[in-house]
Amino acid sequence: MELEGEYRQEISESLFHAVKKYARPSEIEIAEGDGDGFNIELLSSPGATCAIELLPHEPSFQVHFTRPHFSLNNLTFTVSERDYDRLGIKTTRCFASADEAANWPIGLLTLSCNVAQA
């Protein structure tokens, strides 16, 4: 059981460092959260945030995106196909590595949301 906790901590740190590696400091700020998660904030206007947290008892993550006029919550993902196969409850996304997983929230945060109102 202790090894599982160590593994979960390892994948959490791996994802955090991958996000730091791929995020442009001029566009995105990354802050460590309390315990098993961290936050990503888009610095441009309008701002957007993303909270990523490691789920308890599973080697998977939950992510919450917030923009000024909407939010998208409770999306789940894993950072390895091996972990996906072991999950009791399957996640919505499965990435091959922490590097691949890191680019997903960064891409969604920096995606332009220019929707004309009727």
pLDDT tens, residue order, the chain (118 aa): 455 778 888 888 999 999 999 998 898 999 987 778 999 999 987 789 999 999 887 788 999 999 888 888 989 998 887 777 777 778 888 898 999 999 999 988 887 655 544 4
pLDDT of residue 118: 45
pLDDT of residue 80: 80
CA dist 9 and 105 (Å) reads: 20
pLDDT of residue 116: 46
Residue 46, preceding peptide bond in cis (omega within 30° of 0): yes
Element (H, E) at 101: helix 98-110
> Coil, helix or strand for 11?
helix
For the entire predicted model, the pTM comes to 0.83
pLDDT of residue 56: 81
Phi, psi of 101 (to 5 degrees): -65, -35
Q: Smallest Cα–Cα separation from 16: which of 2, 43, 35?
A: 35
Which residue(s) pair with 89 in the sheet? none
